[in-house]
Structure 1
Amino acid sequence: HIILLIWKNSKHYNIPARLVVLMREICNSLIKQATKYVSGEQIFTMIESEEANLAVTMLKTTLSVCGAFKSTYFDYKTTANAECPANPWKIQNNALFMRLDSFLERCHDILDLTQTIVQFTKLAKIEVGGTKGKTLTASIKQIYEDFHHAVAKFKAVPYDIMDVGAKAFDDDFYEFRCSIKELERRLGAVVSLAFDDCSNVYGRFKLLDSFEGLLERPIIQDELEKKYIGLVQSYGQDLKTVQELFLHYRDQCPIAWNLPPIAGALTWCRGLQERIEIPYIKLNLLDRAILEREEAKEVSKVYLTIRASLQEFESQKIEEWGRDVEQSSHSKLKLPLLIRNPESRLLTVNFDPALVRLLREVKYFLLLGLNVPDTALDIYQQVETFRAWTGNLDLIVNMNNDVLNILLPVERPLALPYLNKFDAMIEKGLSTMNWKSNGITEFIQDSMEQVQAVSEVMRTMKNNLKGINEQLMQYTKPLIVRKSKPVAKDEFEKDHKNFVKERYTEIKEGGKNIHTMVKDTNKVLRVSN
């Protein structure tokens, strides 16, 4: 803008010769500032520090600033020609920007150098699998070593590579590029062999991902063009395999272990979708010339057809399940909490298996990112509540059933008052109270207290009975023990007398223990002596 003002108002500097000098000086200042911002020494330092990406960014910034300067000049040249028709800026661009253009060309060359280093550095970490993996990996390592030597040789030049006046750069850079082209040919051959060694489409795409960036280099791209065509054909064959699997199993889907039926079918369907979708996305990243071929277009049509069939199958399954949920879920929630076997009087938690399946289905629907019908989602939002209720009811039922299973007929009259009280407590859970009722938590708490009381009574009775039996078993030992050799009469009478005395003492002490246990049993049964 200032130069335009000078051109419009100055009487001495509004001539082409002065403008040329001024613009050249500005260009020189711009080049000088750019070499301060990013010098050849800095670039090599960043490369040695494995920060070549930073060098790429700085070079792109330099090119952007210089390009913006030239673009601004051309904009103001148009303005000057319009505002000063009698004295337009009729100057050859080469006269103004010859040195700046040379600098920009140098920046592009060095940018190509740094980008090449970024790309080839990936080779250091690449491991190729397959039957030929070890040999191919060794070849890649050797290519990387040769590349490292080529870079080291170029770094040894005795001048600043950003110095536009260093004419030897062109020869040195040409030699470097020739070395890189040879390495590209070798690398293309290795990638081609690794490509042939892959057994499936997914493995081939994974191989291409490993060499991402390098595959865009023209020599490698030419080497792999025929492989890309074969890849498209292999993917087409895989699509046919998926289609056959879908048609064969759609009515009886293979369900993964522990998955509910609908979510299992949809997981299987999603697996088929991912199997065809991931390679398709990567396929579309190939060169446009490959995608324009008739084989690629046909494969794309087959993919879209199969994807539509899979999506239709998924929608159909979800719709059918949604209808079943609407019809059955509310009726299942209206079932009583408990049911009792009329013969054995054993209890069972009456949480219908259909509700369990519903909750599992919703869980996996949400994990798969599928839409869940509102009815099912409302029920699933109570899943933790249902889990707590059924868990506590299971404890109550198990304690009650254990009591009934171990209760002897002669013991039943003793425990009957407690059993009757518990039965009266849970009658609501057998008749009027369902899974949508209010007060379920309080009902469970009261029932738990009562069944624990019954269980405690039975535990005390059984433990005391066991203790009494163990005590009585001690008295079954014989009073006379046969010796292995004859014993004198006096000695026998003496030993027998002591033995009887000890047995009387045992019986006396044991009797006290038995009385204590009987009293304890009477206490829990609230029976008077």
Structure 2
Amino acid sequence: ASNSEMVDKLEGLLLQWAKQIEQVLTESEQMRKEADDIGPSAELEHWKKRMATFNSLLDEIKSPHVKKVVGVLQVAKSRTLKHWKQLDISITSAANEAKDNVKYLYTLDRFFGPLGKCTPTSMLEHIPSLINSIRMIYSISQYYNTSERMTSLFVKITNQMISTCKAYLYQGVNKIWEHDRNELLKRIQDCTQLNKEYQETFHRVKEKLRESQNERQFEFSENYIFGKFDTFCKRLEKIAYMINTIENLSDLQNVKLEGIEKICIRYQTIVTTTKSKNYDVLDLRKPEFDNDYTEFQYQIQSLYQSLQSYVDSWFEQPLTTERMLELLAKFERIAGDQLDLTEKYLMVLQRYGRDLELVRKLYQKQKDNPPTPRNIPPVAGKIMWARQLFRKIDGPMKILKHKPDILKVAEMKKIIRNYNKVAAVLLEFELLYHRGWCQAVELGRQGLNVSLLVRHHETRELFVNFDPIILRVLYEAKYLYKMGLEVPELVVSMCSHEEQIKDLHIK
């Protein structure tokens, strides 16, 4: 009876241990509750803890105390031992699984540091080795080769990349809007490039595996692995659009035009509202951003509509071609292709066509006796007049010829022909007078070469042999030289002694 009581007590003790072991096994098989942004280092830590737990259980099972209890129950042929042996097998299997998984996950540990500390750019070089190492684990590991576990590992790697990108985007600032536009756009580009390279490398390895049917294939849910990173990059694209829009419109504040103040105030309100938000714009769990982004788009579109109306009102006024182009340049710089300026350029063409005709008629009327400024020598004055007319038609043409859409218009082709005709006539006019002056100087070269000091043939006294034409030649040459026209070397040399020549003339 005493032996029976002892066996009952030992069976009760074994069942108590079994219950504790079952609880550990049950808990280990339950779905792990993890944060949705947890990184791959947590995967290694999980299996290390699991290995420690089951190794500790194995040590307990193999301890002398437990062995004695099991030994007595074996002699007593207790039925509880069958269940105990099954638990022993389960614990041994779980311990072996944890040990094997830790061994393979440790091969990835060298990548976990760079994933957490590198910039997205410097992380790029580690991606091929990382994914190839994962492929090896998938191929040769005994326990970690399930689709579920590999997908979970990839998701954690994706999470870590996103966390690193967030830290990179916030580096040096409290709000990403505090970055200079170019710096922020560069960082956004670095993050999107990381996502692109990550997915491309994954697909290259996947395609390579298809060449070898003996190896396990990468048949994982790509949407589950990469979906979050894609969503993050779409958020970055929206932020890039917002910062580009804000910066492009910032020139509004530098435009000094009557009536634009109200539009400037609306712009400043949009900027202040956007940048004053207190939530983390990179947190995908925050729904506020999408609402604010929609509102931002609406406000900006409304602003562009007001700007379009403002431009329209300016072009209802009588403006010169130059003023029209000046205004269009300002509005293009501010709003780019958000404004419809095609009609305005057609108005410019009409006005410019009239300018060409006006210049042509003015040339025909004044070419024989052009109006020249006072105190300007005749040849230089005529060339100045021709150049002034040329500038009148050349300035607008320099702008219009760089507008591809305008060049396609039939009216523009006609205007180009007229421009070429008028420009050729004006350039020929300049060339004609300049060449004529140079030839006149060459004909008078003998007079310019004579000695300035000569002796009277009777009195033998020195006197200045000076022709007043010399001063007129020097005066003309000085202006022509300043205008960038070629002047004979002899005249250039004389110009350098102009003051001495004038002194001799006075004497």
Band of TM-score, shorter chain: 0.5 to 0.7
Trace 1:163-202 onto structure 2 (pairs within 5 A).
163-202=283-322
Measured after TM superposition, the shift of residue 78 of structure 1 is: 7.8
Pairing 1:240–2:361 present: no
Aligned to 2:84: none
**Paired residue for 2:170, among 23, 33, 36?**
36
**Alpha carbons 1:198, 1:204 under 8 Å: kept:** no
Matched AA of 2:370: C
Within the alignment, does 1:321 sit opposite 2:437 as a pair? yes
CA separation in 2, counterparts of 1:330 and 1:97? 89
Report the CA distance between 1:201 and its aligned residue. 0.7
* 24 and 75 in structure 1: CA distance in 2 versus 1, 3 angstrom threshold: closer
Q: How many matched pairs?
A: 366
Deviation at 1:202, TM superposition (A): 0.9
Identity of matched residues, %: 25
Distance 2:131 2:176 in 1: 39
Q: 1:151 and 1:181, CA in 2 relative to 1: closer, same or farther beyond 3 A?
A: same
Which residue of structure 2 lines up, in the alignment, with residue 386 of structure 1? Answer: 498
The answer (yes or no) to whether the contact 1:24–1:97 under 8 Å persists in 2 is yes
Residue 57 (structure 1) aligns with: 182
d(CA) in 1 for partners of 2:222 and 2:353? 54
The partner residue of 1:258 within 371, 375, 380 is: 375
Compute the RMSD of aligned alpha carbons.
3.5
Letter in 2 for 1:184: Y
**What letter corresponds to residue 326 of structure 1 in structure 2?**
E
In structure 2, C-alpha distance between the alignment counterparts of 1:382 and 1:245, rounded to whole Å: 37
Q: Structure 1, residues 335-357: CA drift from partner, whole Å, max 9, x if none?
A: 644799x9xxx999554343323
Q: Which consecutive unaligned segments of at least 5 residues does structure 1 have?
A: 47-53, 129-136, 398-529
Q: Tell which deviates more after alignment, 263-272 or 231-240.
A: 263-272
Alignment partners' CA distance in 2, 1:265 and 1:90: 83
> Map of 1:35-434 to 2, 5 A cutoff?
35-37=169-171, 41-43=175-177, 46=178, 55-70=180-195, 72-73=197-198, 76=201, 80=205, 85-86=211-212, 97-128=226-257, 137=258, 139-218=259-338, 221-222=339-340, 224-286=341-403, 288-334=404-450, 336-337=452-453, 350-370=465-485, 372-373=486-487, 376-391=488-503, 393-394=504-505, 397=507
SS class of match (1:381): helix
Alpha-carbon distance between aligned partners in 2 of 1:122 and 1:369, rounded to the nearest angstrom: 37
* 1:12 and 2:143 matched: no
Closer, same or farther: CA 166–198 of 1 in aligned 2, 3 Å: farther
CA distance in 1, matches of 2:368, 2:475: 21
Is the 2:199–2:226 Cα contact (8 Å) retained in structure 1?
no
SS in 2 for 1:197: coil
Distance 1:160 1:254, change over 3 A: same
In the alignment, is the contact (CA less than 8 A) between 1:255 and 1:264 conserved in 2? yes
* Residue pair 1:30, 1:66 contacting (<8 A) in 2 also: no
- In structure 2, the residue matched to 1:465 is none
1:460 aligns to what?
Answer: none
Return closer, same or farther for 1:77/1:12 CA change in 2, 3 Å cut-off: closer
Helix, strand or coil at the partner of 2:427: helix
One-letter amino acid of the counterpart of residue 31, structure 1:
C
Deviations 1:41-99 (A, max 9, x none): 251xx4xxxxxxx6311222113323443554577568657876437878787555433
How big is the shift at 1:233?
1.1
- Structure 2 Cα separation of the partners of residues 91 and 285 of structure 1: 52
| Alpha-carbon separation, structure 2, partners of 1:312 and 1:306 | 10
Name structure 2 gaps, 5 residues minimum.
Answer: 1-124, 140-144
Moved more, 202-211 or 84-93: 84-93
Shift of 1:197: 1.7
Q: 1:349 to 1:207 in 2, by over 3 A?
A: farther
- State the Cα deviation string for residues 229-249 of structure 1 (Å, max 9, x = none): 111111111111112222333
Distance 2:470 2:137 in 1: 95
Measured after TM superposition, the shift of residue 122 of structure 1 is 3.0
With normalisation by structure 2, the TM-score equals 0.62
* TM superposition shift of 1:12: 0.7
- Going from structure 1 to structure 2, the CA distance change for 1:145 and 1:240 (only over 3 Å counts) comes to same
Aligned in 2, Cα 1:368/1:347: closer, same or farther, shift over 3 Å?
A: same
C-alpha contact (below 8 Å) 1:59/1:107 kept by paired residues: no
In the alignment, is the contact (CA less than 8 A) between 1:56 and 1:115 conserved in 2?
yes
1:452-471, CA deviations, whole angstroms, 9 ceiling, x for partnerless residues? xxxxxxxxxxxxxxxxxxxx
Shift of 1:207: 2.0
Look up the match of 1:496. none
- The verdict on how the C-alpha distance between 1:8 and 1:147 changes in structure 2, with shifts beyond 3 A counting, is closer
Q: Distance in 2 between matches of 1:225 and 1:348?
A: 73
Q: 1:301 to 1:166 in 2, by over 3 A?
A: farther
3-state SS of 2:279 partner: coil
Mapped to 1, the partners of 2:397 and 2:348 lie a distance apart of: 11
User: 1:73-132: CA deviations, max 9, x gaps?
Assistant: 57756865787643787878755543333333333323333333334333334333xxxx
The CA deviation at 1:217 is 4.3
- Judge conservation of contact 2:401–2:407 (CA < 8 Å) in 1: yes
**In 1: Cα distance, 2:299 partner to 2:375 partner:** 58
Contact 1:239/1:302 (CA < 8 Å) preserved in 2? Answer: yes
Contact conserved, 2:176 with 2:184, CA < 8 A, in 1? no
Match of 2:42 in 1: none
CA contact (8 A) 2:474 2:494 kept: no
Counterpart CA distance in 2 for 1:91 and 1:250 is 83
Q: Distance in 2 between matches of 1:369 and 1:193?
A: 42
1:273 touches 1:310 (CA, 8 Å); kept in 2? yes
Native 8 Å contact 1:329 1:355 kept in 2: no
Check the 8 A contact 2:452/2:465 in 1, yes or no.
Answer: yes
Cα distance change of structure 1 residues 155 and 269 upon mapping to structure 2, 3 Å threshold: same
Partners of 2:280 and 2:484 lie apart in 1 by 57
The answer as to whether partners of 1:263 and 1:364 remain within 8 angstroms in 2 is yes
User: 2:195·2:230 contact (CA, 8 Å) conserved in 1?
Assistant: no
